């Protein structure tokens, strides 16, 4: 029984270390046209997301690197929000008479200071992937804000994107059960 308890505690600690992450990742880009890549280039966003999930966790950094005096980023559309006060991802869309004036995907903080102010945006709940839109009669603009708080929630969702964690957890759980079967 003591071995069982030790093994179970070790498993819980291991799972906690593997699955705990303070880093939020969001899609990031901006456009001023409905045909711009921030809206239309979802295939490239998906490709970066797939490449991101293939890399080692220690390599998943979005730090600028110097290459012959030019700054480049590892990812064009993915952004690590760790080194900031950002706690959510956001999509902002501003249109006037059917034309897109701004489309922004990025990290955001809980200060509710979006490109277009309205008290309606103060009640957005990132846990619910909440969207709210307003119409400003003076400027004749529609502004929409979407907030969410999980990795890459402000862009294309890849089918089964987070299933690898669940599968790994199930394999680990069944491994513990098999070991316990032979111990007990």
Read off the DSSP letter of residue 134. Answer: E
Give 13-28 as a DSSP string: HHHHHHH-----EEE-
Please report which confidence band the pLDDT of residue 2 belongs to, taking 50, 70 and 90 as the band edges.
low
Terminal-to-terminal C-alpha distance of the chain: 8
Residue of higher predicted confidence among 155 and 169: 155
CA distance 142 to 100: 9
- Nearest one of 162, 142, 144, 39 to 96, comparing CA atoms: 142
Sequence spans of domains, the chain: 23-173
Give, for 144, the enclosing helix (H) or strand (E): strand 141-148
Q: What pLDDT is stored for residue 160 in this prediction? A: 53
- The per-residue pLDDT for range 10-55, each reduced to its tens digit, is 544 444 444 445 689 999 999 999 999 999 999 999 999 999 888 7
For 1, the token pair is 């029984």
CA distance 152 to 67: 27
- The per-residue pLDDT for range 77-136, each reduced to its tens digit, is 999 998 778 889 999 999 999 899 999 999 998 777 888 888 888 888 999 999 999 999
């Amino acid at each position: 029984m003591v071995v069982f308890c030790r093994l179970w505690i070790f498993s819980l600690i291991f799972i906690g270390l593997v699955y705990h992450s303070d880093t939020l990742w969001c899609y990031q880009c901006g456009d001023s046209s409905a045909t711009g890549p921030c809206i239309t280039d979802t295939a490239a966003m998906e490709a970066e997301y797939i490449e991101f999930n293939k890399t080692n966790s220690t390599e998943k950094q979005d730090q600028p690197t110097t290459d012959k005096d030019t700054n480049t980023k590892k990812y064009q559309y993915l952004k690590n929000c760790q080194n900031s006060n950002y706690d959510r991802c956001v999509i902002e869309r501003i249109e006037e008479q059917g034309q897109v004036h701004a489309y922004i995907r990025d990290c955001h903080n809980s200060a509710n200071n979006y490109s277009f102010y309205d008290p309606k945006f103060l009640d957005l709940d990132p846990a619910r992937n909440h969207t709210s839109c307003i119409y400003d009669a003076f400027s004749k603009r529609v502004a929409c804000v979407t907030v969410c708080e999980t990795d890459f929630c402000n862009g294309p969702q890849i089918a089964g994107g987070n299933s690898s964690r669940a599968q790994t957890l199930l394999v680990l759980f069944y491994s513990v059960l098999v070991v316990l079967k032979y111990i007990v």
